[in-house]
Amino acid sequence: MSIDPKAWQTLTRGVVEIISEDELKAKLAKGKPLNIKLGVDPTAPDIHLGFTVVMRKLRQFQDLGHRVILIVGDYTATVGDPSGRNKTRPILSHEEVLRNAETYKQQFFKIVDPARTTVVYNGDWFSKMTFTEVTKLLAQITVAQMLEREDFKNRYEAGQPISLHEFLYPLMQGYDSVMIEADVELGGTDQKFNVLRGRELQRAIGKEAQVGLFLPILLGTDGREKMSKSLGNTIGIDEPPQAMYHKLYSLPDALVESYFQLLTDIPMEEVRSKLAEVAAGKSNPNGLKDELARNIVTQYHGADAAEKAAEEERRIHSGEALPQDIPVLQVKAGEHWVPALLTQAGIVKSNGEGRRMIENGGVSFDGEKLADAKVNVQVTGEHILRAGKRGFVKVLAKS
């Protein structure tokens, strides 16, 4: 059976690597529903757009008639995935993992169709394994193979501790594939080592090996690091529409193409044509960012919410409204030097930067533009300090 070119284009959109492409084509050509695996360790309850890259791919497989099997790692999460880490990951209790899992599933099903998803917990099999069975599992890989893994290798060479339980994680993830008879496992590029263990374990028992399909790591709003809650560069799928819209509208230009590719279904030929117009100076880049922001906000909050968020952003930029997430800075009542207030609020990194913003006409206090960086302002109650188009802070006098 031949593979529909349009379906293949959908499944491979944004994909970095397939191991192997020929094997995936052969599985698809059989014309039977495949078991598409995603394993998640709910170490935190909230889902951000970085997680949705893989989830969207799951939905695409579902829409083509395949089965999604979501493995909630209630046992692997208590070990902690060492991927990309330079130190041992803190171990969560089983109760913490289960609590996080419930919130995680609610958000997961905003993207993936629950009617075509099977949810299993890997504690169903790991909790029943004997020590002899664990020993047999460990025998499937050597210490030398583990140290080929970059994060383990770097930690070992740096003299940083590696706990033996961390070696269990890749094997546990691989064993999950055996237990659910996975045909395809999805993951970020940082999951390659773990996914390959699943292929090896399946072959070891005479089963057909799963295909590994790897997606890129989404960069966060800072444009430098992967999207991560600990780095403060995330866009949560449960964030209010206006907050989500603003973060997307304010993305660095370099991220726009990848966000369109990984987070929307808009044809990339259309996106690249518009990007070329922006590069040639024929159109404003903000127009493309508005389209991106509206599209993603619509996915999670609806078209009406996206329209209202876009209008609210326009009003904020024009000075007609204040953002919903305006921070608050409490200070003693009395006179204050504005550059110091800007620094305390985190709007600028130094008093010198604050002075330059005032001298360039970019700072106002209670709607009045400040012209002299040396003049103090009087804080008596509640005031609005604004720097640039979006640098707002509510300044409150302590009682």
Where do the domains of the chain lie?
5-215, 239-318, 328-397
Asked if omega into 318 is within 30° of 0 (cis), the reply is no
Read off the pLDDT of residues 58-75 as tens digits, 9 standing for 90 and up.
999 999 999 999 998 887
For position 318, what pLDDT does the model report?
64
- pLDDT higher than threshold 80 for residue 291: yes
C-alpha pair distances (Å), 270 with each of 1, 216, 324, 385: 31, 21, 33, 41
Nearest CA to 256 out of 292, 309, 287 is that of 292
Higher pLDDT, 157 or 97: 157
pTM: 0.77
**How many C-beta atoms lie closer than 10 Å to residue 301's C-beta?**
20
Domain 328-397 has CATH 3.40.50.300: no
* Distant-in-sequence, close-in-space partners of 187: CB < 8 Å, separation ≥ 6: 38, 39, 54, 194, 195, 212, 213, 214, 215
Q: Which two tokens stand for residue 141?
A: 């890989």
Average pLDDT, the chain: 85
The mean-pLDDT minimum among 118-127, 153-162, 207-216 falls in 153-162
Residue 389 pLDDT class (50, 70, 90 cuts): low
Domain 239-318 has CATH 1.10.240.10: yes
Tell me the mean pLDDT in the region 264-280: 92
Whether residue 38 contacts residue 68, with contact meaning beta carbons closer than 8 Å, is answered with yes
Higher pLDDT, 155 or 98: 155
What is the CATH T-level fold of the domain 5-215, as seen in this structure? Rossmann fold (3.40.50)
Query: What torsion do the CA atoms of 280, 283, 286, 290 make, to the nearest 10 degrees?
Result: -120
